C-alpha cells in the first residue's frame, strides 16, 4: 500500500486539473469495478454491487496548488492559491508548473519580524532574469513539489490531503470481496475550492446514505490546543465540523462496527474546515452522511504526515461497514 500512496502523492493534480491523478486511480480500480465512468465535472465514479442500499463514498482527488497572476520585469512570478494556500507554509518551498518549469517560493522582506505577510508578498523564482520569453504565462498552474518520505509508521508527502483518502478507498474496494449493497466509490474533483465534484456526483447518483474519506487536523504536537486528535490512535469518526453535522445514525453505525471488529477509532469534532460530506448531505431531498477521517499533521503544507496504522485501520473499518447489511 505504501507504493500506492507514493504513486498517488507524487502525481500533480490541483483542483480543476485532475486528469493526471484520475488516470492513475482509474488504472488501479478498473479491474475491481462492476461499472466505471467519468461525469461532466471529471469525477471518477466506480460502482460495485447491486441491490440493497445505495451508498456513496467520496474521496477527493484534487490537491491545493497555485496559479500565476503576474510576471514582473525581472521575471518573478506573482500568484494566488488554488484552495487553502497559507503564506506561513510557503517560503523555501518548491513548485513545478504543468509545463515542467520548476520554481522556488520566496517572500518579500518583512518590516517587522513579528508581522504576518499576506500571499501578495510571496513570489516564485523560476531562474528568469526578465519577463521576455518567460517560461510561465499568466494562468499557468503549479503544484507543490516535495518527495515522498517513508519514516516507518509515519508517512510524509505533499497532497496527503486527500490522496491518502483515495488510497484508503482503493484498498477498501480491493479488499471488499462482496457486498449486499450498491456501492459508489467516487473520486471527486474540486473539493479544495468548494466541494464541487461531490455535489454534482451525489446529485447524479442520488444515494440513500454516504460518507467521505478525508484527512482531519491534529492535536498532538507542541502548542496544539483545544483539539483532541492523535496520530496512531486510529481513524476518526466525525461528529461535527464547521460545515456539517454527521447524522447520528451514521455515527452510531460506524462506532458499533469499529467496536465489534475491535478496531481503534477516535471521535472527531473539527473546529474548522469541512469535507465532501457537506455537499453530499445537501443534494436533492438530503442524504444522511458522515465521514471517516485520517489524522494528518501539517495539513495544507508541502509535508503532510499520517500514521500508516491509522490508514490500514480505516481500510478495515470501511470493509466491515460495507460487507454487512445496514439498518439505520
pLDDT at position 113: 63
* Catalytic, out of 63, 191, 192, 199: 191
2-63+158-323 and 65-144 have identical folds = no
- If pLDDT is split at 50, 70 and 90, which confidence band does 327 have? confident
pLDDT at position 4: 98
Q: What is the CA radius of gyration of the chain?
A: 20
pTM attached to this predicted model: 0.94
Write out the DSSP string of 186-223.
Answer: EEES--TTTSHHHHHHHHHH--SEEEEEEEE----STT
Across 159-177, average pLDDT: 96
pLDDT, tens digit (0-9, with 9 covering 90-100), for 185-208 = 999 999 999 999 999 999 999 999
Was domain 2-63+158-323 assigned CATH 3.40.1080.10? Answer: no
* Mean pLDDT, the chain, integer: 95
Across 280-309, average pLDDT: 96
**Grid-cell match 483518502, residue found:** 165
pLDDT at position 112: 66
pLDDT at position 88: 87
Taking alpha carbons only, the member of 250, 237, 199 closest to residue 40 is 199
DSSP run (H or E) holding 3 = helix 2-10
Fold assignment, 65-144: Elongation Factor Tu (Ef-tu); domain 3 (2.40.30)
Across 54-64, average pLDDT: 97
Q: For residue 16, is pLDDT > 70?
A: yes
Whether 73 sits among the annotated catalytic residues: the reply is no
- If pLDDT is split at 50, 70 and 90, which confidence band does 53 have? very high
Across 318-324, average pLDDT: 96
Mean pLDDT lowest among 74-78, 87-91, 158-162, 194-198 = 87-91
pLDDT at position 133: 92
Beta strand pairing call for 304-307 and 154-157: antiparallel
pLDDT, tens digit (0-9, with 9 covering 90-100), for 114-161 = 566 789 999 999 999 999 999 999 999 999 999 999 999 999 999 999
Please report, for the chain, the start and end positions of each structural domain, with discontinuous segments joined by +.
2-63+158-323, 65-144
pLDDT at position 225: 79
Residue 220 grid cell: 498532538
Q: For residue 321, is pLDDT > 90?
A: yes
Contact 188, 40 (CB under 8 A): no
On the CB side of 227, CA atoms within 13 Å amount to 24
Contacts of residue 172, defined as CB under 8 A and 6 or more positions apart, other chains included, come to: 57, 185, 315, 318, 319, 322
pLDDT at position 33: 94
Residue 190's DSSP bridge partners are none
Amino acid at each position: 500500500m505504501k507504493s500506492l500512496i507514493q504513486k498517488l502523492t507524487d502525481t500533480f493534480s490541483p483542483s480543476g486539473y485532475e486528469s493526471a491523478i484520475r488516470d492513475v486511480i482509474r488504472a488501479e480500480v478498473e479491474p475491481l469495478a462492476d461499472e466505471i465512468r467519468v461525469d461532466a465535472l471529471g469525477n471518477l465514479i466506480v460502482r460495485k454491487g447491486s441491490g440493497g442500499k445505495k451508498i456513496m463514498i467520496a474521496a477527493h482527488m484534487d490537491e491545493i496548488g497555485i496559479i500565476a497572476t503576474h510576471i514582473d520585469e525581472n521575471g518573478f512570478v506573482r500568484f494566488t492559491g488554488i484552495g487553502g494556500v497559507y503564506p506561513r507554509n510557503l517560503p523555501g518551498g518548491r513548485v513545478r508548473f504543468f509545463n515542467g518549469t520548476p520554481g522556488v517560493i520566496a517572500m518579500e522582506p518583512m518590516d517587522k519580524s513579528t508581522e504576518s505577510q499576506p500571499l501578495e508578498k510571496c513570489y516564485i523564482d523560476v531562474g528568469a532574469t526578465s519577463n521576455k520569453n518567460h517560461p510561465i504565462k499568466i494562468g499557468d498552474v503549479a503544484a507543490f513539489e516535495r518527495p515522498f518520505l517513508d519514516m516507518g509508521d509515519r508517512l510524509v508527502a505533499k497532497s496527503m490531503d486527500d490522496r491518502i483518502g483515495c488510497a484508503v478507498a482503493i484498498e477498501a474496494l480491493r479488499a471488499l470481496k462482496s457486498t449486499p449493497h450498491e456501492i459508489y466509490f467516487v473520486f471527486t474533483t474540486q473539493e479544495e475550492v468548494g466541494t464541487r465534484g461531490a455535489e454534482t456526483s451525489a446529485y447524479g447518483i442520488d444515494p440513500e446514505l454516504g460518507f467521505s474519506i478525508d484527512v482531519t487536523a491534529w492535536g498532538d504536537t507542541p502548542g496544539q490546543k483545544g483539539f483532541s486528535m492523535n496520530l496512531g490512535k486510529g481513524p476518526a469518526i466525525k461528529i461535527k465540523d464547521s460545515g456539517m453535522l454527521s447524522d447520528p445514525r451514521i455515527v452510531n453505525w460506524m462506532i458499533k462496527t469499529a467496536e465489534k471488529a475491535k478496531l481503534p477509532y477516535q471521535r472527531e469534532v473539527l473546529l474548522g474546515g469541512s469535507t465532501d460530506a457537506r455537499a453530499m448531505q445537501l443534494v436533492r431531498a438530503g442524504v444522511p452522511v458522515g465521514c471517516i477521517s485520517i489524522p494528518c499533521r501539517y495539513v495544507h503544507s508541502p509535508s503532510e504526515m499520517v500514521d500508516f496504522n491509522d490508514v490500514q485501520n480505516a481500510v478495515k473499518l470501511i470493509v466491515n461497514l460495507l460487507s454487512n447489511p445496514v439498518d439505520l
